[in-house]
Amino acid sequence: MRRLLALLSAFFCVAPFLWLALTALRPPEELTRLGVPSRLSVSSFVSALRDQPLPRALLNGLLVSACTTVFAVAIGSLAAFSLARLRPPGRDAILAGALSVSMFPPIATVGPLYVLLRALGLLDHWAGLIIPYTTFSLPLAMFLLTRAFEDIPEELWRAARVDGCSPLQALWRVHLPLAAPAIATTALLVFIAAWNELLYALTFLSSPERRTVPVAIALFSSEHAEPWGEIAAASTIATLPLVVLALIFQKRIVTGLTAGAVKG
């Protein structure tokens, strides 16, 4: 029974991606039909990569997402370590305030951010997208890493200090290696959020050569037709890097997500 439920759950999660890939492999004349296609065709993939600005958008998305991930994990690690080990006054209030920031819907913040970025001259610039992404990714990074650092025995922190390590050295030599699963989980979640974000990318970047993947796919539509095959193919290609990353780091992700779930 458990295996059946697990298989059904897995199919429920994977089915949308399989349907998307199957749509992308349909011949153009069968895109509006239901059921299994009569044959498979890669014409939609060829068209998406050749006739649309998808390759450039993939590189742009990789650049923005990677920079966001590095900054969010680096800054979040420092903040989480200080909250978990240095325990500043108002620690719980700081963490709660950071988490409350992440609850604002993007549509409520896009206007003020646009005005601010325009005043700073960062519109249509990578920094104008990376900075907001990092800001809204930090609460998640801080929360996950704070819990991960708290699960590390405090005796190791005290031993590192006795051995002459500064707080930064203790973070680098002791806490970061032991919290690697949580760091991998945090990095993947931040990367996925930045990779899939549409509203800020559509608003803050105007140059076609700077568009990220969601914006490029959203603008595939023409005046007289909807290229569903190309959209499905581009969406499949854009999803594959996330699937590969999840498969590579699946063990660390599971460990990071379940860290601290059992005390004993």
Residues 127 and 235 grouped into a single domain: no
Q: Are residues 246 and 136 both part of a single domain? A: no
The residue range of the domain holding 121 is 60-219
Q: How many residues does the chain have?
A: 264
Query: Which pLDDT score, from 0 to 100, does residue 33 have?
Result: 77
Is 136 part of any domain?
Answer: yes
Predicted TM-score (pTM) above 0.75? yes
In this structure, the answer to whether residues 38 and 154 fall within a common structural domain is no
Task: Specify whether 143 is located in the same domain as 240.
Answer: no
Residue 187 shares a structural domain with residue 156 = yes
Residue 98 confidence (pLDDT):
83
Does 3 fall in a domain? no
Judgement on whether residues 100 and 153 belong to the same structural domain of the protein: yes
The number of beta carbons lying within 10 Å of the beta carbon of residue 245 is 17
HSE (side-chain half, CA atoms, 13 Å) at 4: 1
Are 188 and 65 found together in one domain? yes
Query: Are 132 and 111 in the same domain?
Result: yes
131 with 235, same domain: the answer is: no
- And the tokens for 182? 């949580």
Task: Say if residue 128 is in the same domain as residue 182.
Answer: yes
Spatial separation of the C-alpha atoms in residues 26 and 144, rounded to whole Å: 42
Number of domains in the chain: 2
pLDDT in tens, the chain (264 residues): 788 888 888 888 888 888 888 888 888 888 877 777 888 888 889 988 888 889 999 999 999 999 999 999 999 999 999 999 888 888 888 888 888 877 888 888 999 999 999 999 999 999 999 999 999 999 989 988 998 998 889 899 889 888 888 988 999 999 999 998 889 889 999 999 999 999 999 999 989 899 999 999 988 876 556 788 899 999 999 998 888 888 887 766 666 555 544 444
Torsion sign across C-alpha atoms 142, 148, 153, 158:
negative
Based on the fold, state whether residues 192 and 136 are members of the same structural domain. Answer: yes
How high is the pLDDT of residue 243?
84
In this structure, the answer to whether residues 172 and 200 fall within a common structural domain is: yes
CATH number at residue 192: 1.10.3720.10
